[in-house]
Chain A
Amino acid sequence: MKKPITIGRIFAYVLMILFALLTIVPLLWMFLSAFKPHAMIVRQPLLPPMTLYLENFRLAWTQGHLGIYFANSIVYAMTSTIFTVVLAISSGYALSKFSYPSGKFIYALYTLGLLITVHSVIVPLFIMETKLGIANTRFGVILPYIAFGLPFEVFLATTYVKGIPDAMQESAIIDGATFLEVFVKIIIPVATPIISTMFIYTFLGNWNEFILVLTLTSELAIRSLPVGINSFAGGMSRDYGLQFAALVIGTIPMIIFYLIFKDKIAQGFAAGSTKE
């Protein structure tokens, strides 16, 4: 099928290509620069690498302790994401289908949570965690990850579950099912699209989180990837090659992750963002 060339279509192509280039060029540049020694990046920033120079990656991985960080990142992102999603979907069900007055209040609290910046709670949070003795532990990192993930995920879950027809729940209740059974047998299966979106979105956020893990941990053994990358990219590190290699190590897994799950992300968003 051939479509006629119109001004609209030309405009559409220009826009699309522009956006695509804006993404591809910097990423490609980062990727190629990671294979160049520092001196060459400084002298010829635009030239592609002439040889396969892997030293940057080796140094970044060993000096930056990226191996340990990488493993920790996975633990943090995985665990906290699972908890966030489970808590959010159950709250979503309770807040949308039970119509208790306290539900409105709780929902409002979560909405308020959307507006809180990490920095405004980090000092009291650290004081609290040290008093409880959980600062500098994996648990002490995961707990705030869950808490900061909740507001947005509860919002997504609530709007989605709200859209599930009441009739499904009612007929099951009449048949003698308890509400918890309804939750497990009806709500969760129906809500699978939003659950996968929530999962992916939370995972991405947690993977990239920096300030909480930096402040709440002090042992190298329990820190995560962004802390490692930031020590290259954060300021005065003058070796651009190393910087780029670290960035590539931090970025590539997420790009692959995204390419696998992108259809799921899209589906869930359709479900989650409609009001009523």
Chain B
Amino acid sequence: MKMNRFLSLVLVLLLLLPGLLLASGTKEAEKDGMIELSVYHYLDQTDKTTAPNFQHLVDVFESENPNIKLNFEYGYGESFHDKLQTMAMSGQLPDIILLYPGERTSQVTSAGLVKDLRPYLAGHESEFADMAMQAQGDNGEIWELPEDISITSIMYTNNKLLKNLGLSFPKTYDELIAQGAVIRNAGLIPISIANKDAWPMQSCLAGMLVERTCGMSWWNDVLAGNASYADPEFVYALDIIKDLQNQEMLSPGTNQLAYGQGLDDFVNERAVYFIDGGWTVNNMVGELTDEQKTYVSLESFPDIANQKGKSMSVSATAGQGFGMNANLTDEEAAAAWKWIWFYSGPEGSAIRQQYGRLPAYNLAEPEQADPMIKKLITFAGQVPMGYVMDSVIAAEPIGTFNINLQNMMFGTMTPEEVAKHLEDMVVALGR
């Protein structure tokens, strides 16, 4: 009984506390002449790096534009897309929306729910990387102004471990495989990659391998419908993934590992190589020690036998960016553009570059920046770029393909079957 009374008291206190905390908050006064805009953004609000960085950008913008008030709503992970769909379908799209250049948000962009940004952008096209200015709509529309260039297939290398093992970065795929036994015998993981979520193997490895085995002319052909995913050169790319798995080159249990684990293993020096996108540099800035930053390098996957594509090539795409609702009034649209231009244009890009992003806006190399950021910028200037699969193939075929890659690694599907399946789905849906 006594215990119960005590627990009741604790509970009541627990329940009252937040109310009291809330009551002490102040209410903001509304001002005249303000333009309020709702913004839907993709952000992990609990991320210790990205969330404060983003807030900083917002603060800078709002202090420069005191008459524009941005009301942010954040989504993250799958629920970002679920919510976006629901809002779009019910005609409740916010004023400014984070959109993706490829297929991920094509349901929104192709439905005419957002404005074409070309009239606003006119005259500034040459200030961006070519990749970012590629047409996003059927008639050459630009629906969103890409913030970054995403390189999705960087082979981060721990050169200290490599040296300790008496190895150096491999020139060819066969050399890489030959290193496997040495690395494993030292109790280390050759290539850290966490594929529980199924997209990393496709986004960070498969796309790049397809460029190597098939070349860019094949890529353009297949997108135009003049080649097939069932072609042997495409199957060859899948064979390599299968081989990496069979040769125990990838993280043990890679298909059970949640995404962040790949970086964990690399940062804690349990892995020699780590394959992930350029966005990870953002985390590395904070998580690698200064000493580690001196011996971690960014590399491209080594050459494969009978390579048709270019040496050193990576898969890359112009990243996401903000677009605006088609229903905005001229005045609102002008305010929305101010934010979009601030964010992806020179000012925001310079800030984001400091944070380790690779802005789509052409900037001079920063003098003051983290060594990892400098490495990323240098790397990006050196490597040829091919397509990222999930930015050129529709959601359902690529979602199925991701999962089929897991099937292939488990031996429940052959590379030929995976390729054939992808071709069939793409044909059925229309390219």
Binding site for B on A (CB under 8 A): 42-43, 59-60, 63-65, 67-68, 70-71, 74, 122-123, 126-127, 130-131, 135, 214-215, 218-220, 230-232, 234-239, 242, 246, 252-253, 256-257, 259-260
Contacts and interface: CB of A to CB of B under 8 A. Distances in A.
Interface in B254-282: 258-260, 263-264, 268
Nearest to A257: B11
Nearest to B287: A238
Contacts of B8: 260
Contacts of A68: 18, 22
Contact of B15 (A59, A74, A219): A74
A31 B71 CA distance: 36
B134 interface: no
Contacts of A256: 7, 10-11, 14
Contact of B48 (A74, A122, A239): A239
A123 B22 contact: no
B89 interface: yes
B121 to A, nearest CB: 28
Secondary structure call for the A interface = helix
A127 B92 CA distance: 9
Given A68-B18, A123-B86, A256-B10, 9 more contacts: A59-B48, A71-B22, A126-B90, A127-B89, A214-B82, A218-B94, A230-B79, A231-B45, A237-B46
Nearest to B79: A214
B47 interface: yes
B2 to A, nearest CB: 13
B73 A63 contact: no
9 contacts: A127-B89, A218-B94, A234-B77, A234-B79, A235-B77, A237-B46, A246-B46, A259-B7, A260-B8
B77 A122 contact: no
B46 A235 contact: no
Contacts of B19: 71, 74
B92 A135 contact: yes
Contacts of B82: 214-215
A70 B92 CA distance: 27
A68 B283 CA distance: 28
A130 B91 contact: yes
B83 interface: yes
Interface in B38-70: 38, 40, 44-48, 51
A12 B419 CA distance: 55
B46 A67 contact: no
Contact of A130 (B48, B51, B90, B264): B90
Counting from the closest, the 7 A-B pairs by CB-CB distance are A238-B260, A70-B18, A71-B18, A218-B73, A127-B90, A235-B77, A130-B90
B4 interface: yes
Given A63-B45, A67-B22, A71-B18, A218 B83 contact: yes
A74 B15 CA distance: 7
Contacts of B38: 218
Interface of B: 4, 7-8, 10-11, 14-15, 17-19, 21-22, 38, 40, 44-48, 51, 71, 73, 76-79, 82-83, 86-87, 89-92, 94, 197, 258-260, 263-264, 268, 283
Contacts of B44: 231, 236-237
A253 B12 CA distance: 10
B83 A215 contact: yes
Contacts of A131: 90
Contacts of A238: 260, 263-264, 283
Nearest to B71: A219
Contact of A67 (B18, B91, B259, B260): B18
A122 B4 CA distance: 40
B76 A67 contact: no
A242 B46 contact: yes
Nearest to B52: A63
Given A130-B91, A130-B92, A260-B11, A231 B86 contact: no
Contacts of A126: 86, 89-90
Contacts of A59: 48
A71 B260 CA distance: 31
Q: Which of A230, A231, A236, A237 has the most CB of B within 10 A?
A: A231
A63 B260 contact: no
A231 B92 contact: no
A239 B91 CA distance: 36
B283 to A, nearest CB: 7
Given A70-B18, A130-B92, A239-B48, A231 B76 contact: yes
B260 A236 contact: yes
A253 B15 contact: yes
A199 to B, nearest CB: 14
Q: Which of B82, B91, B94, B258 has the most CB of A within 10 A?
A: B82
B295 to A, nearest CB: 20
A63 B47 CA distance: 9
Contacts of A236: 44, 77, 258-260
Contacts of A214: 79, 82-83
Nearest to B283: A238
Nearest to A69: B18
B365 to A, nearest CB: 29
Contacts of B17: 70
Nearest to A125: B86
Contact of B259 (A123, A235, A252): A235
Nearest to A72: B18
Contact of B21 (A42, A67, A123, A237): A67
B261 to A, nearest CB: 9
B264 A42 contact: yes
Nearest to B85: A123
Contacts of A246: 46
A260 B15 contact: no
Given A71-B19, A130-B90, A218-B83, A253 B46 contact: no
A5 B278 CA distance: 65
A26 B5 CA distance: 27
